[in-house]
Amino acid sequence: MLKIAICDNESLHLCYAAELVGRELSAQQAEIEGFLSLQALLGAVSSGTYTPDLAILNCNVGREALFFKGMRAIQKLNQLVPRCRILFLAAYPGRDWVFSERERRYLLSKKQKERQDRDALKQAVRMLENRPRRTSITAKAGGKTTVIPLGDVLYVERCGRKCRVVTTGGDCIASQRPEELLLDVEDAFVRCHQGYWVNLARIRSQAHNEFFLDDGSCIPISRTYRRQALACFSAYLEG
């Protein structure tokens, strides 16, 4: 399921964008979260509890100082979630702000702008859905590179700035952070703790605040990640 973040500092425009996304995408395709500021979105992403596939942002940044502040925030979002696509939505009622004089001549009617936004949204989602699916992860450490099939991975544990990959054939240490190591394969894993990412396919059962894996491992589910982890596990079981 795609995770779509919508960010606008005006609640009316935020509702409009959510309605637009809701009309174009079915509930089965997307999980939509709204944020009233870029900082709120960055806070959720920085905490590690939220990783959007698509961020839909308003483009009404106003004064020059706010523009550059917004650009820095967007650059930060790109650093935190490199795979996240960013879409600027400009078809809010009454919004006539454009980026430059060069683009001013392309200012369209509200109806045309809405159609343009719908087309851009569909294209962004289509590109996300057509991403090549990786079937392995690549662990790097000390000049050594190890390619590990996803099916062999039980879980990944954060170890400072590195991580430990626990597989059916043993463990290995990777110099990458878990977020880097699992880039583009997040859908195969569930983050259930500040330090644990579990392969959904290797979970045998869940009880209380723990996942039990098919090798006998028991992985804790923290309060911070409980709601998200259980929802992800439930969605996986439902197919």
Give all strands of the β-sheet with 196-199 in edge-to-edge order: 170-174, 162-167, 153-159, 196-199, 189-193
Give all strands of the β-sheet with 85-89 in edge-to-edge order: 30-35, 2-7, 54-58, 85-89
Decide if pLDDT at 20 tops 70.
yes
Q: CA-to-CA distance for 184 and 226, rounded, in angstroms?
A: 22
Q: CA-to-CA distance for 187 and 199, rounded, in angstroms?
A: 9
Decide if pLDDT at 190 tops 60.
yes
Lowest-confidence range among 3-7, 112-116, 154-158, 175-179? Answer: 112-116
DSSP string, 75-142: HHHHHH-TT-EEEEE---TT----S-HHHHTT---HHHHHHHHHHHHHHHHHHHHTSPPP-EEEEEET
118-173 pLDDT, tens per residue?
A: 666 666 666 665 555 678 889 998 888 989 998 999 999 999 889 999 999 999 99
Length of the chain, in residues: 239
Decide if pLDDT at 7 tops 80.
yes
What is the pLDDT at residue 25? Answer: 67
Q: What is the mean pLDDT of residues 193-209?
A: 93
Q: How confident is the model at residue 209 (pLDDT cuts 50, 70, 90)?
A: very high
Residue 129 CB partners (closer than 8 Å, separation 6+):
2
What is the pLDDT at residue 232? Answer: 85
Q: What is the mean pLDDT of residues 79-83?
A: 73
Query: What is the reported pTM?
Result: 0.55
Decide if pLDDT at 211 tops 60.
yes
